[in-house]
Structure 1
């Protein structure tokens, strides 16, 4: 498949961040969460944001994905200047550009698997939403679970539906925040393998937020955060070109 990057996106960088800062609260209660992040993410790479609780990795994901506005700094994501957008505009900018997989799945319990994947596509005006949803579920091994509701699925199956939903719109950028946090080790390994396979097949950039070093080292690159700054940025030689 060809890369899903929109024509307006930079040739090499899907994310460019400069002196990115996030402060929550005001006055004496203000807390600086991100304290000057400089980060370039290449189109098509897999990158782990690694760090313990409180290191700033989830806050950085929220800013990079447009779920939270940076307090200051420069940020371009998939060809869009996120620093110039308000919350409503950020929500629109995420559409078609960013897919998100969360630890808690966040499937709608009253919708079947195929409805959970197709409905966001329909709302975005994507043609052939139901066929694409069915094909994406087939690709993650759930072609036989199209009409099942979340309560009828295992945790691993629910996370696969979430992966299908995140990838179905063919975004250039996918974030996965602790994607195996609610799964046992064997199921988590299977889900991660599926996530990496689908990323490779679609050509998307994948950013995984995790505290698990073994998971992080499955990526091309590991960026470790500590106290709101980048403590290290390491490319895994064996993963280059994977």
Structure 2
């Protein structure tokens, strides 16, 4: 199992705390693809944030890629993610002062890859952007920016890829192409994939569907 979550709880707020996650137990195998479904506010994004090390659980145990996230501080979590976890968000979060090539290559450099720029060019070519290497995010369409984000997430050959509604800002046709690319790149690298999506047809492409209701896994 590459992800192990045991009785994970997340409570936010001060004087009036709100229970976001209410005892999550979830194991995900190496190479498995999992879709997270649920209504808005069901806790999907919060669970993904906890499993990706972006949010710290209030209690319970989170072990990802053999590392106990509860034992790490913020710097430790950042190091644990580096090169091991790829994240694709609905908001692209590309650095506006960097070209597409630089946006993909810099995380590889931080992960210690000496051939970062050559590999970044290969990843961008794999998502059909070899002609846009030196364009800045503002010069790219929404679909192109999302493809850069996918190339960045997968460029370090992470063991785990988290995708939170990665096509939410895209039109239907572009979204379908982006998801085809995400699955193709995931298959090529053998990564574990966890994706949040409201699209039942897309969820059916995954090995397993996990439905969340009110901070709990319902099915």
Measured against the shorter chain, the TM-score band is: over 0.9
Match of 1:97 among 84, 89, 112: 84
Once the two structures are TM-superposed, the CA of residue 145 in structure 1 deviates from its matched residue by 1.0
Identify the match of residue 124 of structure 2 among 124, 131, 137: 137
Do structure 1's residue 16 and structure 2's residue 16 form an aligned pair?
no
Report the Cα offset of residue 212 of structure 1: 2.3
2:193 to 206, 222, 225: 206
Q: Give me the whole-angstrom Cα distance separating, in 2, the residues matched to 1:186 and 1:141.
A: 15
Give CA deviations for 1:136-192 in whole Å, capped at 9, x if unaligned: 111111111111111221111111100000000111000001100000000000000
In structure 2, the gaps of 5 or more residues are none
- The 1-side partners of 2:80 and 2:33 are apart by 22
Deviations 1:180-218 (A, max 9, x none): 000000000000000000000000001001222222222
- Give the RMSD, CA atoms, in angstroms: 1.0
Residue of structure 2 in register with 1:157 after alignment:
144
What residue number does 1:111 align with?
98
Verify: 1:192 aligned to 2:182, yes or no: no
* 1:69/1:87 contact within 8 Å kept: no
What is the match of residue 215 of structure 2? 228
Whether contact under 8 Å (1:23, 1:34) holds in the other structure is yes
Q: Which residue of 2 aligns with 1:124?
A: 111
Check whether the contact 2:83–2:108 (CA below 8 A) recurs between aligned residues: no
- Structure 1's unaligned 5+ residue stretches are 1-12, 233-242
Alpha-carbon separation, structure 2, partners of 1:113 and 1:95: 19
TM-score (norm: length of structure 1): 0.88
Rounded Cα–Cα distance in structure 1 between residues aligned with 2:147 and 2:96: 15
Deviations 1:39-78 (A, max 9, x none): 0001101101111110000000000000000011111101
- How many residues align? The count is 219
Q: 2:23 aligns with which of 33, 36, 39?
A: 36
SS at match of 1:20: strand
3-state DSSP of counterpart to 1:176: strand
Structure 1 CA distance, aligned partners of 2:204 and 2:144?
A: 24
Asked if structure 1 preserves the Cα contact closer than 8 Å seen for 2:92 and 2:149, the reply is yes
